[in-house]
Amino acid sequence: FGSKDGLISAVDGHALTVIGAAMAAPLPESPTEAVLELGRRVGGLLSEHRAVVDYLARLLVDGAPSGVAVFDATMAIVGAHWKQMADNGITREDLDLTWAALNPTILVFGTIILRRHIDRHLPKPLADPKQLERWQESVNTLLRYGQFRTQGQDR
């Protein structure tokens, strides 16, 4: 690696590659399917790449350039998706699109950062498939019923 900076750069590169591979594929156009797919992707990271998730948590908390880049890239992807849904008339008309993108981002990154504390309140660690399923369903329910139009609501 040549130096401490070289080592940090290599580890950052590896972590960003793993995260990018999990998150980069296009999302389904259906809002429900998009929310479910994002949950599956994050769940996969939490269960299969715990060391990378822990490293990402440190980057986010420390405000490291790589953490800033991951947060900003996530916001760009999630924000564009919410804008597309708003343009298609799927979201509530009064929805604040910035916060529509920030809320699920905070839910995911907050879970990543606080995972060890969350584990203490669950019967098994969050990385356990049953616990990940509970978390995903909880987040999906919050997003689906808290930000989308209800049936029969005028557009």
Tell me if 101 sits within 8 A of 147, measured CB to CB. Answer: no
What are the backbone angles phi and psi of residue 91, rounded to the nearest 5°?
-90, 165
pLDDT in tens, 44-66: 888 889 899 899 999 999 998 88
Per-residue pLDDT 10s for the chain (155 aa) are 889 989 988 998 898 888 888 877 777 777 667 777 877 888 888 888 989 989 999 999 999 888 898 899 889 888 888 898 889 888 888 999 999 899 888 998 999 999 999 999 999 999 999 999 999 888 888 877 765 566 655 54
Reduce the DSSP state of residue 109 to 3 states and report it: helix
Q: For the whole model, what pTM was predicted?
A: 0.78
DSSP state of 136: H
- In total, the chain counts a number of residues equal to 155
